[in-house]
Amino acid sequence: MSDIPLSTSVSLTNIVALTDQLLEVALLARASDLHLEPQCQSMQLRMRVDGLMQLMKSPFEKLPASIADAIVVRIKLLCEMDISESRRPQDGSFQWQLNDQYVDIRCSSLTGHWGEKLVLRLQWQQQNIDLSKQGLSFEQIKIVHTQLSKPQGLILVTGPTGSGKTMFLYSCLKKIQTPHLNIVSAEDPVEVALGDVHQVAVNEAIDLSYSQILRALLRQDPDVIMLGELRDFDSADVALKAAQTGHLLLTSMHTSSLSEAIHRCHGLGVDMLALSYCLSLIINQRLVRRLCSQCKSPMSKLQIESFASREWLDAAASYEFCFGAINPCLPVGCDECQGGYNGRFGVFDLLVMDHSKRDSVACRRVQELECGAGLRQQGLWRVISGDTSIAEVNRVTW
């Protein structure tokens, strides 16, 4: 699409085309979020690419106020939001097509000092939710698959906001999809539509909460249940009972470590003894940016020696080529990437529950649970294999 010249007087046709061009630029950059931020007599546009915010390039770096206001109205119309209301927060969504692919776009509006800000979440309908593509090692994939094969239990995925928990849950559901299983989910909202999975979205406007959906789903003869997030005692209590009564339940929680997840469950009022008996697997994860395969540069022996801390040496000594040959690299940057990086993948810490760990969970002796390789070590292994950089691992694990 050719650039549309910006002026203080733009026709309605140009506003429609300009909005389309704005969305296209963001989507071609693989942005997950687009921010329209009002300033004094202008609007700044930023987007989140591979987890990091960056300014959009000209002509979208800053827009004159008159054009920005028109684009805001255009987007609100697409989302079926009230264009006459700018004081109250609003939410809406619409579907957009780029070439032969469709994108679900969710919009949130919130007025601040300089005016109304819009944040758009951009979600491709065709997502890569293959479990083998998430970043797990071969051994970790076997562990997850073993736990997914069990007829009942609780699999808990933890990590901060934006760490890929929801996509990982979707990849687990896709892995076990079969005509012999009735798979259902409660989500807020439904981010990826899965065939043969009955997905129900939370709707607070009609008082349809996680716990209410879960209770209803339990009467739908489910085999596997996915709960988008453990938020409160009600949803946690129903989820625990579901996992105890012959269902496999997958859910997530916003915590930064395995031990914090145990403390958070206790804080929600969960029966810790009951949790210790139905919990089968806890996964803690982060997303790191992948080095661009077109321009990454192998590290010299001198550069590698500069990383020779005890932690690095331990990681190198324990590396068993689970992610390929030893080839640590540095980011360079080219026309095909964003500052030397292109895409993201996960690093994971897995804790498989067994009889020896039940007392530790029930009594919250979390120091006895933190005994695995951990996120840091797997992150360093991915540096050793040339998949990411030490700076990127430090950014997400410290």
5: in domain: no
* Residue 371 phi, psi dihedral angles, 5° rounding: -130, 0
**Percentage of the chain with pLDDT > 70?**
96
What tokens were used for 184? 């259902």
- The answer to whether residue 64 is domain-embedded is yes
Q: Do 87 and 37 lie in a common domain?
A: yes
Is 121 within 8 Å of 109 (Cβ atoms)? no
Contacts 24+ apart (CB under 8 A), 198-207: 202/228
Once rounded to an integer, what is the mean pLDDT over residues 314-332? 94
Is 60 exceeded by the pLDDT of residue 352? yes
Residue 64, preceding peptide bond in cis (omega within 30° of 0): no
Do 173 and 188 have their domain in common?
A: yes
Query: Which residues have CB under 8 Å from 244's CB, separation 6+?
Result: 152, 274, 277, 278
- Please report the sign of the dihedral spanned by the C-alpha atoms of residue 288, residue 289, residue 293, residue 298: negative
Range from 9-13, 241-245, 367-371 that averages highest in pLDDT: 241-245
Domain boundary, last residue among 124, 140, 170 = 124
pTM: 0.89
Q: Is the pLDDT of residue 220 over 90?
A: yes
For the chain, the straight-line distance linking the first and the last C-alpha, in angstroms and rounded, comes to 42
- Are 29 and 92 members of one domain? yes
Asked whether residue 4 is assigned to any structural domain, the reply reads no
Q: How confident is the model at residue 11 (pLDDT cuts 50, 70, 90)?
A: low
What angle is formed at CA 94 by the lines to CA 76 and CA 3, rounded to 5 degrees?
70
d(CA 185, CA 361) in angstroms, rounded, equals 26
Give the residue numbers spanning the domain of 17. Answer: 12-124
CATH number at residue 99: 3.30.450.90
Is 156 in the same domain as 194? yes
In a domain, 177, yes or no: yes
